[in-house]
Structures are given as C-alpha cells and as structure tokens.
Amino acid sequence: MAKRLRGWGLEMETCRRAPTAKASKALKKAVPEEQSALASRLLLLWAKGTLSATLTREIADLAIQDGAQHQDLVAIAQTGS
C-alpha cells in the first residue's frame, strides 16, 4: 500500500505532472493578461508595513474615482476594515 501524500508533498507532485489540454485552457483563462502596476505597488507597500490597510483601500478607491477600472483596484477598494 502506498503512502498517501498530503500538504506540500502533494503540491509538489501535482506541479510535476504535465497539465492536460483542458486544464491548461482553464489556467490560461484564470491568469489575468496584465496586472495593475498601482495595485501591485499598493499591496507591496501594505505587505511591508509602509501603508496601513485602510490607507491602501482609500488610495485604491480614489484611483477608481479618478477613472481607473482595473479589477485588482476594484477588489482592493471593496475590502472591508
């Protein structure tokens, strides 16, 4: 009887296998074509502790009010406290 993989071992094994054609199509749809540079920088500054979470949300909200329509910014702006 083979040992059942769990946790990181399971993730490592699933990453080694080549994806099927159906899985690769779904993966291409799930990955956005381009990321928002502003959203990436806001999240980086928040992760480093330079910006607070509320300030990050407010900046994203102000960017949307100025006309930015990227999904990443919308998601940041809609986060709660």
Taking only the tens place, the pLDDT of each residue in 34-78 is 888 999 999 999 999 999 999 999 999 999 999 998 999 999 999
pLDDT band at 81 (very low <50, low <70, confident <90, very high): low
pLDDT at 14 exceeding the cut of 90: no
Q: Which residue has the higher pLDDT, 27 or 75?
A: 75
pLDDT confidence of residue 35: 83
| Domain map (residue ranges) of the chain | 37-77
pLDDT confidence of residue 34: 80
- Token pair listed for 68: 């930015």
pLDDT at 27 exceeding the cut of 70: no
pLDDT at 24 exceeding the cut of 60: no
